[in-house]
Structures are given as C-alpha cells and as structure tokens.
Amino acid sequence: MKIAYFTHSLTSCWNHGNAHFLRGVLDELIARGHDARAYEPQGAWSRANLIADHGIAGLKAFEESYPRLAPHIYPEDADLEALVADADLVIVHEWNDPDLVARLGTLRKRGPRFRLLFHDTHHRAVSAPDDMRAYDLSGYDGVLAFGEALAEVYRGWGWGRDVHVWHEAADLRRFHPPEQETGRDAEREGLVWIGNWGDGERSDELAEFLLRPAQAAGLPLDIYGVRYPAAALETLARHGAHYRGWAPNARAPEIFAQALATVHVPRRFYAEQLPGIPTIRVFEALACGIPLVSAPWDDAEGLFRPGTDYLIARNGAQMTACLADLAADPALRAELAAHGLETIRQRHTCAHRVDELLALLGQSAPVAAERTQETA
C-alpha cells in the first residue's frame, strides 16, 4: 500500500510533538513493506526554528536514528495532484495550512481512489474551536482523533462513525530501557523532565507538581525543552532546576536512563477538557522503563493502570511524598518501571497503532461524503 502523510515536519521535533509518533508509525509501515512517505512544507516553522537554534547539525539526530525515513519537502506551489497520484491513503495532520487541507479535499472530491483522513493530535478543537471549524474537511473520508474526548467533539460536528480514535504510542525500536540495565539503577540520580514551557497552559502546574516538589524532596532536576521565556528561566533557577535546552527526541531514552524518575504534568486542556489523552511523553517515558509520577489526570479510557504503571499525586504535597519514596526505595522504582513497560509493550506501541490503522482501512470502504462546511 502507498501512504502519503502530510505533516508540518518530520525532520524537526522542535516544539512539534507529533513528529515523535509519526516517525515511529511511518518506520513501522516501511518495515512491513508499505511505501510510506511524509510530505512537509518548505520553510516549516518547526524546522526553521531548529536550524536557527542549532544549524543544519540539529537535523543529524533524526537522520541517524531514522535511516528509512526520507521526507519529501515540497514548495508552496507544489503540484499536489502529482504528489498523491498513486496513493492508496492520504493522511493530513491538523498542523498544516488550511489552504493545503482544502486543496487535498478538493482533489478527493474529484474522484481519486485514495482514502483521505484528517489527523488531529491537539487541543484546539476545544481551546480554539472556531479555528478548527474553519478547516474545509468536506472532501475528507474521516477523522483520526488522538483520544475519545476529542473524537466526541468531532461527532458533535457531524462526523458520526467516520471519526476514529487513534492514540499516540511509543516507538519501541528506539524507546526502550538501556540494554544493560543491570546495575544502572545505582548510577541514576535526580529527576528529569522533558517538555516545552507550554505558552502559559501549565505554568502554575509546573511549579506545584514539578519545581517545588523536586526542591522539597532534595532531588536535582534537569529540564529539557524549548520556548522558555526569561521569566520561566528565572523560575527554574529560583527552584534550583537546571535548564538544559532543546534535545532531539531521539536522545530521550539516554536522557531518561540517567534519572531516577520523571513527572507527567498535563496541559490544562488535557487535564480538564480532554480527559483520557496522555500525550506522547507518557508513552515514551514508560517505554524507557523510568518510574513516572503524574499530576492529576483522568485516564478516562483505561489506557493504563494508575497506581500500578505510575504513581498519582493529587497535590504538591503528595508529589513531594511520592518523589521522596521513589528516591529512597529501589524496589518501588523497579516495580513501577516493570509494570509501565509491560503495559506499553502489550497495548501502546507504534506497531499496535499500525495494526489499528490497517484494520480501519480494511473494514471501511472510501466514501468521501460530500459534507457541508458546517459539519466539517
């Protein structure tokens, strides 16, 4: 099968979390013999920022870690019809220009045989619904939503059975515990948190569930990510946290391998309005075998075993206690790491998601319903 995926960027993960999952899924498809290729626009914001910060060398980690992936970077005036001429499936990520989304929908309406799906992995459907409803999806066959709560939003917009839940997952070819884990626990120290500042969406939560607890528990804290304004950096320094800047996502496993534990601090929209969506870092951290403590988050879809795969802290005091317990108890760390890894391997790998996608394609014939703009 030939698959074309239009993404904001495959080469850059600079403030672009969808690249993590997409890389793993496309690599899995290619490994199974499918012709899967990503298309990313020339001058993509994420890639431009990565190169501005780190030069062309910033792309090296991706190129070395994913030798099977060779994204096609297309200009603004590209002939889209030629790009998808022989595709069986075309998937378009929501972080694309609305004009591109509409043009591909128009092509599908003309009758090509490919199936056309819109892939939403963000909270804008609830945080900026007017922006999302402005996308012209009238030529699309369906929507892939990365959580049931998000899928329900699209059902309310008229998609009915043509919206499908497709959670993110971990790429086990790259995200796994260290090959020589025996004896490594004694070498681990402190906490690590990999994430971007979040445009104010979780500033208070980061202070309550990460910065203050780490300081109170006496654990050194390393933070990796981008878009930290001066005020945020001052806050990190005030709490004794060490800001390490951007790290390519391919390096996350080795970063996790240095620390005793990590923390999940969901953005406010996922904690309050889109329950059941853990986002990619939870999958990746558990796949790497690092103990995790989560700030309040409702696993509404039963993806994990809260309290078994990870610990839950309802407030800052509980987070401090959990971190202190983990620091003092190697057996607890080992138990959490083993359970979390078990759940990932059984249910949440990119191979599982490819199985789900292929099953969806086999069960549903292309329909390209002529939807009105109001239901898109």
363: containing domain:
2-169+351-375
Which parts of the chain are beta strand (E)?
A: 2-6, 35-41, 72-74, 89-93, 115-120, 142-145, 163-165, 191-194, 221-224, 242-245, 261-264, 292-294, 311-312
Contact assessment for residue 310 and residue 281, using Cβ atoms and an 8 Å cutoff = no
Same domain, 334 and 220: yes
> Looking at residue 330, what is its pLDDT?
96
Residue 72 — pLDDT band, cuts 50, 70, 90? very high
> Looking at residue 320, what is its pLDDT?
98
Distance from the first to the final alpha carbon of the chain: 27
Same domain, 192 and 146: no
Same domain, 7 and 143: yes
Count CB atoms within 10 A of the CB of residue 92.
Answer: 24
Asked if pLDDT for residue 184 goes beyond 90, the answer is: no
Rounded Cα distance, 295 and 273, in Å: 15
179 belongs to a structural domain: no
Asked if pLDDT for residue 311 goes beyond 70, the answer is: yes
Same domain, 235 and 343: yes
Asked if pLDDT for residue 367 goes beyond 60, the answer is: no
> Looking at residue 63, what is its pLDDT?
97
Total domains present in the chain: 2
- At position 350, the amino acid (one-letter code) is C
Residue 185 — pLDDT band, cuts 50, 70, 90? confident
Rounded Cα distance, 5 and 354, in Å: 14
pTM of the model: 0.94
DSSP state of 306: B
Same domain, 137 and 213: no
177 belongs to a structural domain: no
Backbone angles phi, psi at 45, to 5 degrees: -55, -45
- Tokens standing for residue 357: 């996608």
Asked if pLDDT for residue 370 goes beyond 80, the answer is: no
> Looking at residue 365, what is its pLDDT?
43
Asked if pLDDT for residue 182 goes beyond 60, the answer is: no
Same domain, 132 and 51: yes
Whole-Å CA distances, 152 to 18, 145, 306: 21, 9, 23
User: Burial code of 311-348, b = ≥16 C-beta within 10 A, e = fewer?
Assistant: bbbeebebbbbbbeebbeeeebbeebbebbbebbbeeb
Contact assessment for residue 39 and residue 69, using Cβ atoms and an 8 Å cutoff = no
Asked if pLDDT for residue 371 goes beyond 90, the answer is: no
Whole-Å CA distances, 342 to 250, 282, 302, 338, 347: 21, 14, 15, 6, 9
Residue 179 — pLDDT band, cuts 50, 70, 90? confident
Asked if pLDDT for residue 302 goes beyond 70, the answer is: yes
Q: Dump pLDDT digits (tens) for 237-271.
A: 999 999 999 999 999 999 999 999 999 999 989 99
Same domain, 158 and 22: yes
203 belongs to a structural domain: yes
What would the DSSP string read from start to end of 27-48? Answer: HHHHHTT-EEEEEEETT-HHHH
More confident residue, 92 or 180: 92
> Looking at residue 11, what is its pLDDT?
97
Asked if pLDDT for residue 275 goes beyond 70, the answer is: yes
Contacts of 299 (CB under 8 A, 6+ apart): 275, 276, 278, 306
- At position 297, the amino acid (one-letter code) is W
State the chain's mean pLDDT as an integer.
Answer: 93
Same domain, 208 and 246: yes
DSSP state of 67: T
CATH label of the domain that carries residue 12: 3.40.50.2000
Count CB atoms within 10 A of the CB of residue 228.
Answer: 18
Rounded Cα distance, 279 and 39, in Å: 23
Q: Dump pLDDT digits (tens) for 128-143.
A: 999 999 999 999 999 9
Rounded Cα distance, 313 and 294, in Å: 6
Asked if pLDDT for residue 307 goes beyond 90, the answer is: yes
Contact assessment for residue 257 and residue 287, using Cβ atoms and an 8 Å cutoff = no
242 belongs to a structural domain: yes
Which one of 170-184, 197-211, 334-348 scores highest in mean pLDDT?
Answer: 334-348
> Looking at residue 70, what is its pLDDT?
92
Asked if pLDDT for residue 323 goes beyond 70, the answer is: yes
Same domain, 72 and 117: yes
174 belongs to a structural domain: no
Q: Dump pLDDT digits (tens) for 152-170.
A: 999 999 999 999 999 999 9
Angle at the Cα of 247 (from 183 to 119), degrees rounded to 5?
Answer: 110
Rounded Cα distance, 354 and 350, in Å: 6
Residue 372 — pLDDT band, cuts 50, 70, 90? very low
Asked if pLDDT for residue 24 goes beyond 60, the answer is: yes
Residue 46 — pLDDT band, cuts 50, 70, 90? very high
> Looking at residue 201, what is its pLDDT?
80
131 belongs to a structural domain: yes
Same domain, 164 and 65: yes
Same domain, 225 and 122: no
Same domain, 276 and 294: yes
